[in-house]
Amino acid sequence: MAAKLIFDKRKNIIPIGALIAVISLFLFLQATAGELKLTPKKRVAPVTETISSTEVGTGWSTKENLEEAVKEAIEMALKDKKDKTPDFAIIFASSGSDMKTILSQANKIFKTKTKIYGGTSDSRGVMTDKGFAKAAEKGYEYAKMEGKRSLAVMTVTSKDITFGVGSADFSGCPSIREASKTAVLNAIKSAGKSKNELPKAVLITPTLGTEEEVVEGIEMVVGKNTPILGGTAGGPALAVFGENKIYNKGVSLAVIYTGLPMGWVYEGGFDVKASLSGIVTKVKGQAIVEIDNRPALNVYNEWLGGEIDKLFKKYKRPDLIRDLLVLHPIYRKLASPDGKEYFLFSHPWPKDDNLIERSVMTSTKINVGERIYLGQGTWETLINRVGSLPQKAKTNGKIRADMKPVFSIGYICGGVMGIIPEMERLKLPYLINYANNNAPFIAPFTWGEQGNLRGVGNKHGNLLTSFLIISDKR
């Protein structure tokens, strides 16, 4: 079943809503007793077949000393594991962290024998099945002043799953597409495979503004049917891991080969019953300059009943306008050859903080002649959507609901996370654990999301979520 980017208010709300109420009470009691702990509730795991040859662990740290933080997170992930030098590691650290120190320390601990993939998460944190590792209080430029950091690690050792890693530095690179093509070919070689052996999935973390070209370059090797799942490195200070270096403009990627069942989902959580739309008539880079031959922000403001100008006049705070537009994103309609319809969202915001220059920025490339529509949502529907990701991934992969995944990785939009009230967003790992049978997972908060639309290909959008699970044998 294709992963349609459609929100249906009738689905998932009641069971997950009830769960949120229970978790709310649990978190309140924890908070009143002391500092909120990053330890998920225990629940009885379903009886499933297990794979003895695969070991997966997760760890996290918020220590100020980064060498100690990396050591703490890796030791937590490898606790009770037979092999202390894993085949593969995923590492994400909140934006603003010293990524060079993190990579150097990780390579030292792993004795440079572990393949590493990852980069920065949004400055506000990163999460695993063990909890939400909170960092800065605010996102965007405000986070630069805070200095609070967090990191998360996942380690995998397996005879049933083969990983390869690759990367590219785009600084001074003449072609992002060609560099990305080379990066995925290097990852395939790293996995010990030939270029004719296509991976089951590709994980990517590109930096801001390169995403469409990165996806196109990788598709030159793996085609449109191989799922490319990922998220743009979180900011405001963006970075990704190369094999031995840190890139501020580039891509970190990993290929996965396995015969185990795999399921994934790529979608948004907004109402798409649009009655308001327009044709993009002028663009400049990633800025929409005109809609229907009129200043884009004027049209957008009218769609929202003048709320953008009213909010600015009252508070003069660009962050409030960003939050408003997270819940009123634009989207494009895409159709597969068999007529299946998808919705690809973009997060818009005024290009000019003073609203004088009336263009609308996005983190996607929208072309002249495309029709854009107005979406809408609430933080409640968005948190419900995130909580339902594991089950949707299982359904799409035709995996039994009671199967406990070997591991999962999610990419969750930093804008979606940020619009959810702080105490509510701490529930995200609990919701995912409940639907994921408490399987190990790691999820950065990203500044753009990439995924596959069956029959269409791999696309880049905003305010979306990607979620991948590798399951036990059926």
Mean pLDDT of 70-96: 96
What pLDDT, on a 0 to 100 scale, did the predictor assign at position 143? 85
At residue 23, does pLDDT exceed 60?
Answer: no
Mean pLDDT of 276-302: 96
pLDDT tens string 408-444: 999 999 999 999 999 999 999 999 999 999 999 999 9
Q: Rounded to an integer, what distance in angstroms lies between the CA atom of residue 1 and that of residue 306?
A: 40
What pLDDT, on a 0 to 100 scale, did the predictor assign at position 51? 57
What pLDDT, on a 0 to 100 scale, did the predictor assign at position 473? 74
pLDDT tens string 379-407: 999 999 999 999 999 999 999 988 899 99
* Of 145 and 78, the one with more pLDDT: 78
Enumerate residues 6+ apart whose C-beta is below 8 A from 273: none
pLDDT tens string 306-326: 999 999 999 989 889 999 999
Mean pLDDT, the chain, whole residue set:
89
Q: Can you give the pTM of this predicted structure?
A: 0.89
Burial, 238: exposed, middle or buried (Cβ in 10 Å; 0-12, 13-18, 19+)? Answer: buried
